[in-house]
Chain A
Amino acid sequence: MRHTISVMVDNRPGVLSRIAGLFSGRGFNIESLSVNETLDPTMSQMTIVTRGDDRILEQITKQLNKLIDIIKVVDYESSGSDFIERELALIKVNVDEHKRSEVLSIIDIFRCKVVDVSRTHYTVEVTGDENKIQAIIDLFRPLGIKELVRSGKAAMLREHKIKA
């Protein structure tokens, strides 16, 4: 099963390498990864998407916790709470005369943005969950994608819902 893990770490050189080394050394997989500074610049926040059964996930979170530079580990799936997951993609898509209107209508439907324009290509910025990104890629693919860059996931727990 796929799990999204949030890892709060000391913002020091070498931390990413410790985590990457832990995953490769113990045969765990990283499906996606994103890292950036938090509000407190001495800390960084990593979001790691990984895959495994309960036993493997238990080991992953315990092994991460054991690393000296790691402050906090939360496995969103196992936490039982709802969470928001987003990723970003930049897609450079073909726009010759016949395709331009179709591209624009897809952009409109998916509420994404054109961030760069040339005579032959539009660069489209899209954020959303994985399904949305996959859907838009599938729609653009027949029109011709020149280049595609996807970020790792960013994730966050939802606040408790207000009771009705």
Chain B
Amino acid sequence: MTKNPSKLKGAQILLECLHREKVKVIFGYPGGSVLDVYNALYESNLQHILVRHEQAAVHAADGYARVTGDVGVCLVTSGPGATNTVTGLATAYMDSIPIVVFTGQVPTMLIGNDAFQEADIVGISRPCTKHNYLVKSVAELPRIIKEAFYIARSGRPGPVLVDLPKDIIGAEIDFEYPEKIDMRSYKPTYKGNRRQIVRAVEEITKAKKPVIYAGGGVVLSNASHELGLFARQFQIPVTTTLMGMGCYPGTDQLSLGMLGMHGTYRANMAVSSCDLLIAVGARFDDRVTGDLNTFAAGATVIHIDIDPTSISKNIKVSIPIVGDCREILKDMIEVAGEKKIKKNDRKAWFYTIADWRNKHSIEYQMDAVIKPQYVIEKLYELTSGKAIITTEVGQNQMWAAQYYIFDEPRKFLTSGGLGTMGYGFPAAIGAQVAHPKATVIDIAGDGSIQMNIQELATAVQYGLPVKIAILNNMCLGMVRQWQQLFYKKRYSHSTFQRHPDFVKLAEAYGAVGLRAEKPGEVESVIKKALAVKDRPVIMDFVVDPEECVYPMVPAGAPISNMILL
């Protein structure tokens, strides 16, 4: 326990705890129940970003967490303030992102009374948080905050919500911050079982056609370096999931690109015909596996994951190893010792893969109109592949994943699990707050950008030079694509009759608005946008409305069953 306790109000305790947890910035929106906290913030040097909608506060904290690896923090008021965080919480929960959300609550006496701006947010958020708390006395506040941060960042990370009744944040106690955490019911496993690791290494040295299938867990556990060493030592090709993008260098020879519904032909074929599949920090999501019965059907499966519930949930695993990806990969390298596979030993396997690579599945035809893929290729080229990319959800997300190649982790921010439209822009704001000098680009669709467009005001207020590239096809592209392919071209409510003029809209907010209508204008628009350093930019690319994302595996089909262009 710390010495010299002093009397503090709940609100001050909250800020003091945030300071102890090394929180530098919070994203929030004030309201009645949290006025005491905002009053304390008035004289605090904690940076507070005032968003324009609470959902955006959570996505921004999530974006901040994804690029930094630190816990993102939000502060909102009770009732609607709290309920507006739900989509953000669910997004972070599905993608295992460490955030802590503080919500105001009506005074303890009024809870259950249908008081003004009362909502049972602990009840509402239970299934979409890793854990949550209703603080019932100011004395337990420091311990709860400490636990909240610990739970958010440890084990399989995730969002934690702390509900703060108004009387609790107004009450005073002697402040002591617990130095230790002791939770008898929560002890994540980090070290992998040695015997399983030895078995896995044996299988790897025997395998003729191995593939590594790396997911978001590699990013979360900062295991990219170890994954690289491991893949090269055993000469194993690597495919990444949408969430794992960048955890293995996309431009590396061993990289197969993304797998799954819109993955590369070579990745899907390699996984379908491999004899050993090493899943690292991935969860066999249905968008990855397609038909479960044919997924890696002939392969021995090694599954490394910190969450035991992910193991054997969808696919029967031969060698499960529960623990932290980084620790386990390190141990595997250590166990392997001098054992090594030379490139030559994998000649036949690499030859087959090279053949699949020649299929050029990630491809499009140039035209007189702008092709959305071309825009992303140009973004990649003009940023030298170094930008932080966020996406919305749908075609824009898949094209971003296919055409922007990532060599580093924590550069690609996307709502992989929940598929939240409106995620990309606020996440980009969070990323830009974390890295003010970085180039941050939200690759958006004309539909999803309008789900959190109000945050332009936030970005303008704080001078955040986030770039928004709208691939404007005047429709909900992915919905339209499915209607074209699977619903006999009955385009039910997927095309927009009217849009705002995005250039004028940007200008109205005090941002920069640019538009490209022909392929020849794309490059100059991007260059102009990249030169802006003090405010957000909207680039409105008028693209081919008919364009579809290919290759594509129909939902539930075997992933080798690809519709190519």
Q: Tell me the number of A-to-B contacts counted with CB atoms below 8 Å.
A: 35
Q: Is A127 an interface residue (CB 8 A)?
A: no
Q: Is A69 an interface residue (CB 8 A)?
A: yes
| Contact between chains at B312 and A66 (CB < 8 Å) | no
Interface positions, chain B 149-194, Cβ under 8 Å from A, are 151, 183-186
Given contacts A10-B185, A68-B185, contact A21 B127 (CB under 8 A): yes
Given contacts A55-B312, A62-B308, contact A68 B130 (CB under 8 A): yes
Q: Which of B123, B186, B311 has the most CB of A within 10 A?
A: B186
**Chain B residue contacts of A66, Cβ below 8 A:** 307-309
Give the residue name and chain of the B residue nearest to A42 (CB). Answer: B184
Given contacts A62-B308, A62-B309, A63-B309, contact A68 B131 (CB under 8 A): yes
| Contact between chains at B184 and A17 (CB < 8 Å) | no
- How far is B125's CA from A21's CA once the two chains are assembled, in angstroms? 11
- How far is B313's CA from A9's CA once the two chains are assembled, in angstroms? 24
Q: How far is the CB of B515 from chain A (nearest CB, A)?
A: 45
| Contact between chains at B307 and A14 (CB < 8 Å) | no
Q: How far is the CB of A60 from chain B (nearest CB, A)?
A: 10
Q: Is A41 an interface residue (CB 8 A)?
A: no
| Contact between chains at A65 and B312 (CB < 8 Å) | no
- How far is B305's CA from A66's CA once the two chains are assembled, in angstroms? 14
| Contact between chains at B313 and A71 (CB < 8 Å) | no
**Chain B residue contacts of A9, Cβ below 8 A:** 185
- How far is B186's CA from A13's CA once the two chains are assembled, in angstroms? 17
Given contacts A14-B122, A62-B309, contact A71 B127 (CB under 8 A): no
Q: How far is the CB of A4 from chain B (nearest CB, A)?
A: 21
**Chain B residue contacts of A21, Cβ below 8 A:** 126-127
0/1 interface trace, chain B 103-123, chain A, CB 8 Å (1 if under)? 000000000000000000011
Give the residue name and chain of the A residue nearest to B136 (CB). Answer: A13
| Contact between chains at A71 and B185 (CB < 8 Å) | yes
**Chain A residue contacts of B312, Cβ below 8 A:** 55, 58
| Contact between chains at B123 and A17 (CB < 8 Å) | yes
**Chain B residue contacts of A71, Cβ below 8 A:** 184-185
- How far is B131's CA from A68's CA once the two chains are assembled, in angstroms? 7
0/1 interface trace, chain A 37-67, chain B, CB 8 Å (1 if under)? 0000000000000000001001100110110
Give the residue name and chain of the B residue nearest to A24 (CB). Answer: B127
- How far is B307's CA from A157's CA once the two chains are assembled, in angstroms? 28
- How far is B309's CA from A66's CA once the two chains are assembled, in angstroms? 8
**Chain A residue contacts of B307, Cβ below 8 A:** 66
Could you pull out 19 A-B pairs where Cβ atoms are within 8 angstroms?
Answer: A9-B185, A10-B184, A10-B185, A14-B122, A14-B126, A14-B134, A17-B123, A17-B126, A18-B126, A25-B127, A55-B312, A59-B313, A62-B308, A62-B309, A68-B130, A68-B183, A68-B186, A69-B185, A71-B184
B-contacting residues of A (Cβ < 8 Å)?
9-10, 13-14, 17-18, 21, 25, 55, 58-59, 62-63, 65-66, 68-71
